[in-house]
Structure 1
Amino acid sequence: MSEPEPTTATQRPSCSALFLGFLGLGLTSFGGALPLARRALVERRRWLGEEEFTELLGLCQFLPGGNIINLSVAVGARFQGVAGALAALLGLVAGPTAIVIGLGVIYERFHDDPHIRHLFAGLAAAAAGLMVSMALKMARPLRGQPVAIGVALLAFVALGMLQLPLLGVMLVLTPLSVLIAAGRRR
């Protein structure tokens, strides 16, 4: 049973709601935050619409740094300015930071155990599945936009198949995407 997906945000979260929302996201999406971020921000909390999320994530992917970190700052700033950006960022990193420190201590002690190696292999497979799921959901707003689908496919081929450098692909496809979007709005 899927939840309805709004086209625009339905509420303006407070700083504490941003902190708690991103704390929950950081704790539940360990190792693969983007797929769960979309579900949390668009479907469950309804802070962003489907297209808003896709556009904001596109901007955050272009900026230096981690995509989910950039997204937390952008969402927080959008609703509560600098205080919201800090609340969302702190919420996102507080739990995982504590977990990473704890896991680092445990891993240092047991890293030669084959069970631990198998555990990490399973976690990597689950993270890959989450990324595929998110990509399919994010492609939904592109229905009926063959040129946008073409740009997305070009990015996939360039990065995923040809393994070209991300910076070069972004420097080519970003202006192309902007020109296409500007042409459609005229």
Structure 2
Amino acid sequence: MAETAASAPARPTSLWQLFMAFTSLAMQGFGGVLAVAQKELCERRGWLSQAEFLQLLASAQVLPGPNVCNLSLMIGDRFFGWRGALTALAGMIVAPMGLLLTLAWALGHLAQSGPIHTSLRGALGGVATVAAGQIIGTVLRLSAPLKDHPLGWPSCAALAVLSFAMMAWLHWPLIWILLGLGGLTCFYTYWVLRRKEHSCPP
């Protein structure tokens, strides 16, 4: 019995712990919270494996709305149902909203002060640079499970480059990239899996 309990995956013990975890994520997410979410939920707390995080993130990106809000809803629902979904979403929104309103009020009073405003823009630019580095690092860490993908690492890398080119250089709308390239990839992966099943001896 003790061995079974020790091998059980970690999970939040209460709605309050879930709320504080997502509040912590939100308050660390300068320029995007996904980089912090992967480290906090997978590596530090162990609530999700890398593969589980990727699956939820893929679903969050396909659904309409902010990715991180969709992700918080799905993770909260995974552990506590609809109460967990609302609690996780509240954790993502409440503290950042309060901070944003406070900053908006402060910036309104500082708008006429040129030197302070220029310094603030420089500081925010530095934070954005660090956030970009965090996102790149997260992408590299999350790419590790793709080596076990049915399409293989080279095909996954080619699809990632192709989708980036469609967004960055061709400026295609994201919805068409998801429906077009994403849909074709789903059907192709399904075909590859079915082919492998038929090729395996009974």
Report the TM-score, using the length of structure 1 for normalisation: 0.88
Q: After TM superposition, list the pairs within 5 Å mapping 1:82-121 onto structure 2.
A: 82-111=82-111, 112=114, 113-121=117-125
How has the CA–CA distance of structure 1 residues 30 and 124 changed in structure 2, closer, same or farther, with 3 Å as cutoff?
Answer: closer
How many equivalent pairs are there? 179
Tell me how far 1:9 sits from its aligned partner.
8.2
1-structure distance, mates of 2:125, 2:161: 28
| Contact residue 31 and residue 132 of structure 2 kept, 8 A | no
| Contact residue 9 and residue 46 of structure 1 kept, 8 A | no
1-structure distance, mates of 2:146, 2:25: 26
Task: Name which of structure 1's ranges 84-93 and 122-131 shifts more when overlaid on structure 2.
Answer: 122-131
1-structure distance, mates of 2:66, 2:142: 18
1:161 and 2:169 equivalent? Answer: yes
Q: After TM superposition, list the pairs within 5 Å mapping 1:12-23 onto structure 2.
A: 12-13=11-12, 14-23=14-23
| Contact residue 155 and residue 169 of structure 1 kept, 8 A | yes
Q: Which consecutive residues of structure 2, in runs of 5 or more, have no partner in the other structure?
A: 1-6, 195-202
1-structure distance, mates of 2:188, 2:15: 36
Q: After TM superposition, list the pairs within 5 Å mapping 1:1-186 onto structure 2.
A: 10-13=9-12, 14-111=14-111, 112=114, 113-143=117-147, 144-186=152-194
1-structure distance, mates of 2:19, 2:34: 17
| Identical-pair percentage | 36
2-structure distance, mates of 1:9, 1:166: 38
RMSD of equivalent CA atoms = 1.8
1-structure distance, mates of 2:8, 2:87: 19
Equivalence for 1:3: none
Q: After the TM superposition, which parts of structure 1 deviate over 6 Å for at least 4 consecutive aligned residues?
A: none
1-structure distance, mates of 2:143, 2:170: 21
Which amino acid counterpart does residue 56 of structure 1 have in structure 2?
A: L
Q: Which consecutive residues of structure 1, in runs of 5 or more, have no partner in the other structure?
A: 1-7
Deviation per residue, 1:147-181 (Å, 9 max, x gap): 22222221111112322211111111221221133
Which amino acid counterpart does residue 10 of structure 1 have in structure 2?
A: P
2-structure distance, mates of 1:121, 1:51: 33
Task: Name which of structure 1's ranges 117-126 and 66-75 shifts more when overlaid on structure 2.
Answer: 117-126
Tell me the SS of whatever aligns to 1:163: coil
